[in-house]
Amino acid sequence: MQNAIITGGAAGIGRGIAVRLAQEGYKVSLIDKDKDAGQKTRDEINTQIGPAHFFECDVTNLTKLSKLIHSISKDLGTISVFVNTAGGVGDICFPDVETEIWSTTIDLNLKTVMQGIQSSMKEMKNGGDIINISSFAGVGSQPHDSPKYAASKAAIIRLTTSISDTLIQHDIKINTICPGWVDTPASRKTRENMDSREIPEKILSPDDIAEQVMGFINDNKTGRVVVWKEDEQPYDLD
């Protein structure tokens, strides 16, 4: 049974991906700092689908994250799929925020992805897939309410395309999806404080994102960046 790791796997997009990978026959390992939600998701997958494990970790602690990825591989088997889902955005936007606060967003959205790539590729003894969850916020040149979030998500796009040739030499594919609004606990909280006219009529589901993750795994292409705005069909960013 192949081993898959999902950061931010306790809820939202990460949970949806973990469930789908378990349904596809993967042994899934969830990494998240939310202990209660992580244990609940683990137990649900174990009971209803197949083997799942949960590991409590603040992924912004890069040393701890790296050691954990190695430990999971050592104890549960070489990694076949690694999904960088963990991410988020603060309430106060750059530049009207202290350095230690905006830098936390960069740590969470970019540095953890870089650490996940670096650590997981070492544990993919037979090749594998690394999949990053970016955001539509990182696409294009239009203004955005949270510049620090948009910038960190844009960096993931360029990171994916710039490192793909290096990773494929190790039989590792790397691809990224940039979704618009997805129905998650975090986005529901955000939408509660928005004008209803600003909210798209259609909201993507975690299952939609999980479907694209499987598309990456089943495809032989690498370096893809798929943009999926909630009211449009997904397309590859050139």
Q: How much is the average pLDDT of 25-49?
A: 98
- Higher pLDDT among residues 100 and 205, named by residue: 205
Residue 175's pLDDT band, with cuts at 50, 70 and 90, is very high
Helices vs. strands in the chain: H and E counts, helices first: 8, 8
pLDDT at res. 24: 98
Give me the sign of the Cα torsion angle 122, 125, 126, 128: negative
CA-CA distance, 15 to 28, in Å (whole number)? 11
pLDDT tens, position by position, 60-86: 999 999 999 999 999 999 999 999 999
Strands across the sheet containing 52-56:
52-56, 27-32, 3-7, 79-84, 128-133, 172-179, 225-228, 235-236
| pTM of the complete model | 0.94
Asked if 26 contacts 81 with a C-beta cutoff of 8 angstroms, the reply is yes
Place of tokens 């796997």: 9
Q: How much is the average pLDDT of 104-121?
A: 97
Q: How far is CA 170 from CA 128, 189, 202, in A?
A: 9, 41, 39
Q: What percentage of the chain's residues is helix, strand, coil (to nearest 5)?
A: 50, 20, 35
**Which residues contact residue 90 at a Cβ distance below 8 angstroms, ignoring those fewer than 6 apart?**
97, 101, 102, 104, 105, 146, 148, 149
pLDDT tens, position by position, 220-237: 999 999 999 988 999 999
Q: How much is the average pLDDT of 201-213?
A: 94
Domain 3-229 = CATH 3.40.50.720: yes
CA-CA distance, 120 to 172, in Å (whole number)? 10
pLDDT at res. 27: 98
- What is the residue extent of each domain of the chain? 3-229
Taking each helix axis from N to C terminus, what angle separates 35-48 and 12-23, rounded to the nearest 10 degrees? 20
How many C-beta neighbours within 10 Å does residue 145 have?
A: 9
